[in-house]
Amino acid sequence: MAGERAHDFFTGDFLARLERLALVSKRSFRGRVKGERKSPHRGSSVEFVDYRPYGAGDDLRYLDWNIYGRLDRLYLKLFVDEEDLCLHLLLDASSSMGYGEPTKLRYATSLAAALGFVALVSYERVGVGIVRDRMTEGWSPTRGRSQVLPLLGFLGRLQAGGATSLSDGLTTYVRTSREAGLAVILSDLLDPLGYAAGLRALRERRFDVHVIHLLAPEELNPSFTGDLWLRDAETGELRELTLDAQALRNYRRRVEQFLADAEAFCRANEITYHRVTTDIPVEDVVLRQLKGLLLV
């Protein structure tokens, strides 16, 4: 992916459909500037929400004179302030994400590009964090249609490499992020040290967290058998094994348990979990599978 044009990622028809989508968040967030969604604090938009008694120094423009005429008391009208959302795209770019065709990382960057495009054309802000053995690089939150091509360029240059430390990387991102928002983690979750602490750190900072768990079809159903040498993509460790029918059954049982544990952890921690295999077209995933994240 050259990342130089939107069409390097998607067809023109799909881009037109992305233009009609919007991000959905279970939480409201205080933004930096006026936007298009409801914020948890009071402001001066067009949607009335409540009254409160007038206090010295309050803006007289928001006095309700009808109430004053009836009660002889001064009350202010309160309105919902509508501000922008920050979408945080957190991509696992460790060596294990280089597996498959397309690779899990290429698939992840395509999904991230679609979500980032939806956010930017909706005048939301978008930031990117790249996780390997730590938070190695990023793209600072910014907004506006003019940022679409820079974002796609950044994503298009990513290469898989290095070990995984999801919890350390996500915790670092939480610590350095200036604000909470909608956090989307795109990862295979293959970290020997686990991912729980990093995801909990996001939740504790009150991010609305979504995990997109990416898997290559071959990881679910290996097509090879016999006497093999397998190399760990991240440590380089070699291991000899015989992959017969019983070994395949054991492998599939452990994979099923791994997937069930990931989904159960997310459910228990109010994290939205999306499982995706890379043989499904990105367009189908975006338009049909990401319920609770995109309004189609």
pLDDT, tens digit (0-9, with 9 covering 90-100), for 233-288: 888 889 898 889 999 999 999 999 999 999 999 999 999 999 999 999 999 999 99
CA–CA gap between residue 274 and residue 38 (Å, rounded): 25
The pLDDT, as a whole number, for residue 178 is 87
CA angle 175, 116, 296 (to 5 degrees): 120
Tell me the H-state helices in the chain: 12-18, 65-71, 104-121, 148-156, 166-176, 196-204, 217-220, 245-268, 282-284
* Superfamily grouping for domain 6-28+84-216+277-295: von Willebrand factor, type A domain (3.40.50.410)
The pLDDT, as a whole number, for residue 241 is 87
Which stretches of the chain drop beneath a pLDDT of 70? 1-8, 27-51, 56-57, 78-84, 296
The pLDDT, as a whole number, for residue 98 is 96
Are the C-beta atoms of 152 and 6 separated by less than 8 Å?
yes
pTM of the model: 0.82
The pLDDT, as a whole number, for residue 257 is 98
CA angle 96, 101, 107 (to 5 degrees): 70
The pLDDT, as a whole number, for residue 295 is 79
Domain boundaries, given as residue ranges, for the chain: 6-28+84-216+277-295, 38-83
Q: State which amino acid sits at residue 112.
A: A
Task: Measure Cα distances from 165 to 84, 128, 219 in Å.
Answer: 31, 17, 20
